[in-house]
Structure 1
Amino acid sequence: MTAWSNNYIGIPRVQAGRSRAGVDCYGLLWLVYREVLGLELASYAGESVDAPERVEIARLVECGRSASPWREVSPGAEREFDMVVFRRGRIADHVGLVLAPGCMLHVVDETGVYRETFSSGRWRGRLVALHRHEALA
């Protein structure tokens, strides 16, 4: 697995977190893009406060992935640093960061940031889309 990802394993989950002290799923993407790639993404910090606001989070994810600077990628063509989008229930409100085809770095619970497969298991049927930042195209 990519060596840079080891620096993020275990960062705690903190709603609207955008630092090494804690991140939410989008915050992890934001932090890695900033620190590893030197790319600035919209922060959205403070726009999602707690679980009852999942619809708002989904709207932010949808807006972020469907507009510039994101370009859709076909499943199987994903590569390191692509954004993978999942639905939980009927709402697409979770993102991860592709490490390698079928493997991501993400955060969903008190475990903190960790690696997980998305090509099989619990995330496979929840996959909505894969997107690549235009600077990485």
Structure 2
Amino acid sequence: MTIIDYLQIPYRHQGRDTKGADCFGLIRIFYEQELGLLLPDFTEDYTQEWWKEKNYFIDLYRQWNFAQTSERKRGNVILFKNTNSTPGHVGVILNDESFLHMSREGCETHSYTYGVWARQIHSVYRHVGE
């Protein structure tokens, strides 16, 4: 898929395919398309405010063989803080300045090096294999 293909994916809560995805669904699509890796899905439904109850992202990425890294390179997952300072949004790094993520308007790219996104970075993870 090209970046333009990703940018045509609309937002859909708990969506997991190109017909509609949320931020986690976009990561699954990217990893399958770009790296041939099918990430598992959440094992339970989650509410719109799941980040207030559990820390899904860090626990799941560690479980799925991701390790925290300081490297911000293509394909690494970038986690962003919500209001309670725990990760509640995720994107995938495209290059040394921009990332791909889902918003209510659909898939978008933004810079993570300045502005609101730079201030909201929680951590970065890379897949380390099986």
Could you tell me which runs of 5 or more consecutive residues in structure 2 were left unpaired when the two chains were aligned: none
Aligned residues: 128
Work out whether residues 18 and 45 of structure 1, in 8 Å CA contact, stay in contact via their aligned partners in 2: no
In the alignment, which of 50, 65, 71 is matched to residue 69 of structure 1?
65
Map 1:72-111 → 2, pairs under 5 A? 72-74=68-70, 77-90=71-84, 91-109=86-104, 111=105
2:130 matches 1:133: no
Q: TM-score, normalised by structure 2?
A: 0.88
* Structure 1 residue ranges (4+ consecutive) displaced by more than 4 angstroms after TM superposition: none
Q: What is the RMSD of the two structures over their aligned residues, measured on CA atoms?
A: 1.8
Work out whether residues 68 and 134 of structure 1, in 8 Å CA contact, stay in contact via their aligned partners in 2: no
2:90 matches 1:59: no
User: What is the CA–CA distance in structure 1 between the aligned matches of 2:23 and 2:43, rounded to whole Å?
Assistant: 11
TM-fit CA distance, 1:67: 3.8
Query: Cα deviation per residue 1:21-42 (whole Å; 9 max; x = unaligned)?
Result: 1010010000111122110111
Decide which structure has greater helix share.
1
Q: TM-score, normalised by structure 1?
A: 0.84
The residue type equivalent to 1:123 in the other structure is W
